[in-house]
């Protein structure tokens, strides 16, 4: 089953920025031309919990869920890239692909 086409596309058409009536996301690779991501899910305060030595550590950062199939050929999200979401510019801090065509981009506000 093609999860990207059957699940991710449908989910992002509802919960993504355009599905919510928001402007598209602009993705600016560190090297290369900016492009539009018509489907991406933005979370202003994504909470991540990790365990370090058995002790839970929680952080809150903005995050962007993306369909990797919407990136131009030869372009993959990478640390140091920038995205513009809802008029705000963010740096990509971390990229977490799920192996099924989706990646969660952990963001930091650009200064």
CATH number of the domain encompassing residue 33 = 2.40.10
DSSP string, 38-50: SSEEEEEEEEEEE
- Note the pTM of the prediction, 2 decimals: 0.77
Q: Percentage of residues in the chain with pLDDT exceeding 90?
A: 43
Query: Cβ(76)–Cβ(29) under 8 Å?
Result: no
Number of domains in the chain: 1
Domain that holds residue 50: 3-109
Element (H, E) at 14: helix 9-15
Label residue 74 by pLDDT band (50, 70, 90). Answer: very high
pLDDT at 103 over 90: yes
Number of other CB atoms surrounding residue 34 within 10 Å: 12
pLDDT at 19 over 90: no
Q: What pLDDT score was predicted for residue 68?
A: 93
Q: What pLDDT score was predicted for residue 80?
A: 96
> Strand pairing of 35-37 and 40-52?
unpaired
Greater pLDDT, 64 or 58:
64
């Amino acid at each position: 089953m093609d999860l990207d086409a059957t699940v991710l596309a449908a989910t992002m058409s509802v919960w993504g920025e355009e599905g919510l009536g928001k402007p598209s996301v602009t993705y600016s690779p560190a090297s290369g031309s900016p492009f539009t991501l018509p489907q991406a899910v933005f979370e202003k305060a994504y909470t991540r919990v990790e365990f370090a030595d058995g002790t839970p550590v929680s952080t809150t950062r903005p995050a962007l869920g993306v369909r990797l199939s919407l990136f131009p050929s030869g372009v993959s999200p990478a640390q140091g890239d920038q995205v513009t979401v809802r008029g705000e510019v963010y740096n990509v801090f971390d990229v977490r692909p799920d192996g099924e065509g989706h990646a969660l981009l952990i963001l930091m506000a650009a200064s």
